[in-house]
Structure 1
Amino acid sequence: MTVKDDAFTNWKNREEIAESMIPIIGKLHREQDVTVLLHSRSLVNKSVVSILKIHRFARQIAGEELSVTETLPFLHALTTLDLGPSQIDLGMLAATYKADSRGLSVAEFTAEAVAGATGENKIERREARDVVLYGFGRIGRLVARLLIEKAGSGNGLRLRAIVVRGGGEADLVKRASLLRRDSIHGQFQGTITVDEANNTIVANGNEIKVIYANDPSEIDYTGYGIKDAILIDNTGKWRDREGLSKHLRPGIDKVVLTAPGKGDVPNIVHGVNHDTIKPDEQILSCASCTTNAIVPPLKAMADEYGVLRGHVETVHSFTNDQNLLDNYHSADRRGRSAPLNMVMTETGAASAVAKALPDLKAPISGSSIRVPVPDVSIAILSLRLGRETTREEVLDYLREVSLTSPLKRQIDFTTAPDAVSSDFIGSRHASIVDAGATKVDGDSAILYLWYDNEFGYSCQVIRVVQYVSGVEYPTYPAPAV
């Protein structure tokens, strides 16, 4: 047999193993609310090729590809356990098992590693929490996709309604069409039908009422059977407590803003300060996409090296706030054509760091340039550190942070030598460290952080909503602190 035939046979064998994993992963998710991950990447509803690609990704971080032959025994071991709602990372199980010297079997090690999610320790499955989207723009539609995707088990979060201003003829059909297909993020994964008689969009079996209103005061959500809901305002029209309080109508319990909050509205970056949310807090903000991109790596660097000062320069994709062609705009420069120019603008991300990281006393400045790409941005984070270090040490540290730390869902890591912005469309991380571009000289470090300013940010929003709703299930094995 030739080497070529050997490689092809190996591929076919791995395809067969990955195919056998799909029904096991699906059953765990539907029946027990268990989400199977691989190095923080969900394997739920993934194709054979996607499962193999996610396994191969481990090569970039851990230095070698993780084979499905290594992870399948752990997946089989999970099926023998009395698991409760949880997230279980096969990549972490395999890595920690390899480092364990006690001679335990895979079944014994797995049972021990996920003990917090089994038997008397397991969390009971909770009733689904109602969610309402106020606005249905770029972020709103991506958040809708994520909510529908995560409703697979029938528990957790359930998108019940979308509130929009009244439109013209075929308004509902047009809004459903924008949810069904997206020029950047591709086709919706599933089926969508429209019930115009009842103003309802049905997506993967989820009945979503479309409510037409020009102001929050016009709506009584209990009239739609909605109770104790979390409302996600993605319009940005109101950003202070007084304005956002308008949403606290019958049926609404909490309000989450997908823009930086003003005044005393808490600005939350999941993974960094979400655990500071008070149980009785009804109004909070998920800050900005750029704040979510820079704060997790900034915290990681501050924890390990100390940060004396910093500057962030964001090269940001253009947004709907800009004009397609030169026209009047109330803000400086933003009236100039977005697809034809690099446009200098301000960013509030640097000042927002103080809200998310109050213990970081280092001054952080910032500026931004909008560029003619429709999605994915890069933040260039220049830091003066508290001690000298080397490029190799920083990269080893950030690689480990992306794999095993509590920030592993926020920080990703790539060593791809030819990575460009479009490679990160659809990334679920808040930011991705570009190893090849990283520069370190003594106590000076410059990190290049890619981020999908639409989808990655939407994932952070969902994580905050899961946390405040009580359906953010623990991950096993527990990440290193």
Structure 2
Amino acid sequence: MTVNDDSFTNWMHREEIAESMIPIIGKLHREQDVTVLLHSRSLVNKSVVSILKTHRFARQIAGEELSITETFPFLQALTTLDLGPSQIDLGLLAEAYRADDRGLSVAEFTAEAVAGATGDNKIERREGRDVVLYGFGRIGRLVARLLIEKAGSGNGLRLRAIVVRRGGDQDIVKRASLLRRDSIHGQFQGTITVDEATGTISANGNEIKVIYANDPSEVDYTAYGIDNAILIDNTGKWRDREGLSAHLRPGIDKVVLTAPGKGDVPNIVHGVNHDDIKPDERILSCASCTTNAIVPPLKAMNDEYGVLRGHVETVHSFTNDQNLLDNFHKADRRGRSAPLNMVITETGAASAVAKALPALKAPITGSSIRVPVPDVSIAILSLRLGRETTRDEVLEYLRDVSLHSSLKRQIDFTTAPDAVSMDFVGSRHASIVDAGATKVDGDNAILYLWYDNEFGYSCQVIRVVQHVSGVEYPTFPAAV
């Protein structure tokens, strides 16, 4: 047998293991509300090749490829346990097991590592929480995809309705088509049907009512069987407490804004200050995509090195707020053609840092350039640190943060030498540290942070909604 034959045989063996993992992962998710992860990446509803690629990607952050033959025994061990709702990371289990010298079997180690999700420690499966989307643009449709994806267990968030202004004939058909196909993020993973007579979109079995209204005051959600719901405002039309309070109609309990909040509206970056949300807070903001991209790395750097001052320059993809061709716009420069120009503009992300991370006393300035790409941006974060360090030390620290800290769902890490923006379309992290571009000189550090300003941000929104709804389940092994 040739070397190539050996390689192909090995590939087929790993394919076979991945195929056997899929029904186990699906059953754990449906029946026990357990989400199986691999270094913070969900394996639920993933294909054979996707599972194998996720294992291989581990070399970008952990330094070496993670073999599926190594993780599969841990997955098998999970099937023998009385698990409650939780997220369990096979990558962290395998890594912790390698470092353990007590001679435990995989089954014994797994039972110990996830003990917080078993037996008397496990939390009960919670009732689903109704969700309403007010607006159905770029972020609204991606949030819809995520809500539908996460509805598999039947006990999480339930997308019950979307509220939009009627756009003309076949409005619901066209909106369903935009949900089904996306030029950047690809096809919807599943089936979508439309019932024009009832004004309903059915997506993977989720019945979603399309409600037409020109103003929040026109809707009584209880008339649609919606109760105690969380409304996600994707329009950005109202950003202060007074304006957003108009959404607190019958059937709506809380309002979450997908734009920076003004005044006393809390700006929440999941992973950083979501635990500060008061139980009785009914209105909150998920800040901006750029704020979500820079605040977690800022917190990480401030925790370890101290940050004395900083500047963020965002090179941001163009958005629907800009014009395809030159035309009137109320803002300076944004009236010029987005796909033809680099456009200097403002960002409120730097000033928003103080709201999300009040412990950081350092002054942070910021500016932004819109560039002719449709998605994925990069934040260049220049920091004056509280002590001198080295590039290797910073990279090792940030790699560890991306793997083991409470920020591992927010901060990703890549060592790919030829990475470009399109490589990060669909990233579920708030930002990705580009190791190759990182620069450190004494007490000065420059971090290059990629972020999918559409999908990554939408994932952060969902995490906040899960948290305030009470369906955000603990992750095991716990971060250290």
Alignment deviations for residues 271-303 of structure 1 (CA, whole Å, 9 cap, x no partner): 000000000000000000000000000000000
* 1:197 alignment partner, SS class: coil
TM-score normalised to structure 2 length? 1.00
Following the alignment from structure 2 to structure 1, what is the Cα–Cα distance between the partners of residues 67 and 51? 10
Following the alignment from structure 1 to structure 2, what is the Cα–Cα distance between the partners of residues 149 and 363? 40
Alignment deviations for residues 49-79 of structure 1 (CA, whole Å, 9 cap, x no partner): 0000000011111111111100010000000
Q: CA deviation at 1:368?
A: 0.1
Q: CA deviation at 1:179?
A: 0.1
Q: CA deviation at 1:470?
A: 0.3
Following the alignment from structure 1 to structure 2, what is the Cα–Cα distance between the partners of residues 256 and 209? 19
Following the alignment from structure 2 to structure 1, what is the Cα–Cα distance between the partners of residues 50 and 443? 40
Following the alignment from structure 1 to structure 2, what is the Cα–Cα distance between the partners of residues 61 and 319? 30
Q: CA deviation at 1:457?
A: 0.1
Residue 355 of structure 1 corresponds to which residue in structure 2?
Answer: 355
Q: CA deviation at 1:168?
A: 0.7
* 1:326 alignment partner, SS class: coil
Matched residues, number: 480
Following the alignment from structure 2 to structure 1, what is the Cα–Cα distance between the partners of residues 372 and 69? 44
Following the alignment from structure 2 to structure 1, what is the Cα–Cα distance between the partners of residues 63 and 318? 35
Q: Which moved more, 1:106-115 or 1:56-65?
A: 56-65
Following the alignment from structure 2 to structure 1, what is the Cα–Cα distance between the partners of residues 411 and 341? 30
Q: CA deviation at 1:152?
A: 0.4
Alignment deviations for residues 416-465 of structure 1 (CA, whole Å, 9 cap, x no partner): 00000000000000000000000000000000000000000000000000
Q: CA deviation at 1:247?
A: 0.1
* 1:323 alignment partner, SS class: coil
TM-score normalised to structure 1 length? 0.99
Q: Percent identity?
A: 91
Following the alignment from structure 1 to structure 2, what is the Cα–Cα distance between the partners of residues 376 and 64? 26
**Alpha carbon RMSD of aligned pairs, Å?**
0.5
Matches within 5 A, 1:117-266: 117-266=117-266
Following the alignment from structure 1 to structure 2, what is the Cα–Cα distance between the partners of residues 167 and 99? 59
* 1:412 alignment partner, SS class: strand
Q: CA deviation at 1:98?
A: 0.6
Q: CA deviation at 1:266?
A: 0.1
* 1:355 alignment partner, SS class: helix
Q: CA deviation at 1:251?
A: 0.1
Following the alignment from structure 1 to structure 2, what is the Cα–Cα distance between the partners of residues 62 and 315? 28
Following the alignment from structure 2 to structure 1, what is the Cα–Cα distance between the partners of residues 266 and 84? 32
Following the alignment from structure 1 to structure 2, what is the Cα–Cα distance between the partners of residues 170 and 404? 49
Alignment deviations for residues 354-383 of structure 1 (CA, whole Å, 9 cap, x no partner): 001101100000000000000000000000
Following the alignment from structure 2 to structure 1, what is the Cα–Cα distance between the partners of residues 285 and 407? 19
Alignment deviations for residues 166-225 of structure 1 (CA, whole Å, 9 cap, x no partner): 121100000000000000000000000000000000000000000000000000000000
Following the alignment from structure 1 to structure 2, what is the Cα–Cα distance between the partners of residues 68 and 275? 35
Alignment deviations for residues 62-119 of structure 1 (CA, whole Å, 9 cap, x no partner): 1111111000100000000000000000000000011011111100110010011001
Residue 30 of structure 1 corresponds to which residue in structure 2?
Answer: 30
Q: CA deviation at 1:159?
A: 0.1
* 2:197 alignment partner, SS class: helix
Alignment deviations for residues 285-339 of structure 1 (CA, whole Å, 9 cap, x no partner): 0000000000000000000000000000000000000000000000000000000
Q: CA deviation at 1:125?
A: 0.7
Following the alignment from structure 1 to structure 2, what is the Cα–Cα distance between the partners of residues 442 and 320? 41
Following the alignment from structure 1 to structure 2, what is the Cα–Cα distance between the partners of residues 167 and 72? 50
Following the alignment from structure 2 to structure 1, what is the Cα–Cα distance between the partners of residues 174 and 468? 32
Is 1:473 aligned with 2:473? Answer: yes
Alignment deviations for residues 402-425 of structure 1 (CA, whole Å, 9 cap, x no partner): 001000000000000000000000
Following the alignment from structure 2 to structure 1, what is the Cα–Cα distance between the partners of residues 111 and 416? 36
Following the alignment from structure 1 to structure 2, what is the Cα–Cα distance between the partners of residues 167 and 309? 47
Following the alignment from structure 1 to structure 2, what is the Cα–Cα distance between the partners of residues 261 and 187? 32
Alignment deviations for residues 383-417 of structure 1 (CA, whole Å, 9 cap, x no partner): 00000000000000000000010000000000000
Following the alignment from structure 1 to structure 2, what is the Cα–Cα distance between the partners of residues 18 and 160? 34
Following the alignment from structure 1 to structure 2, what is the Cα–Cα distance between the partners of residues 120 and 209? 39
Following the alignment from structure 2 to structure 1, what is the Cα–Cα distance between the partners of residues 398 and 2? 40
Residue 77 of structure 1 corresponds to which residue in structure 2?
Answer: 77
Alignment deviations for residues 223-277 of structure 1 (CA, whole Å, 9 cap, x no partner): 0000000000000000000000000000000000000000000000000000000
Following the alignment from structure 2 to structure 1, what is the Cα–Cα distance between the partners of residues 97 and 409? 21
* 1:211 alignment partner, SS class: strand
Following the alignment from structure 1 to structure 2, what is the Cα–Cα distance between the partners of residues 59 and 345? 37
Following the alignment from structure 1 to structure 2, what is the Cα–Cα distance between the partners of residues 366 and 81? 50
* 2:426 alignment partner, SS class: coil
* 2:130 alignment partner, SS class: strand
* Structure 2: unaligned runs, 5 residues or longer: none
Alignment deviations for residues 125-149 of structure 1 (CA, whole Å, 9 cap, x no partner): 1111000000000000000000000
Following the alignment from structure 1 to structure 2, what is the Cα–Cα distance between the partners of residues 475 and 407? 12
Following the alignment from structure 1 to structure 2, what is the Cα–Cα distance between the partners of residues 327 and 170? 29
Following the alignment from structure 2 to structure 1, what is the Cα–Cα distance between the partners of residues 136 and 64? 42
Following the alignment from structure 2 to structure 1, what is the Cα–Cα distance between the partners of residues 326 and 273? 40
* 2:55 alignment partner, SS class: helix
Q: CA deviation at 1:2?
A: 1.2
Following the alignment from structure 1 to structure 2, what is the Cα–Cα distance between the partners of residues 355 and 467? 19
Matches within 5 A, 1:264-413: 264-413=264-413
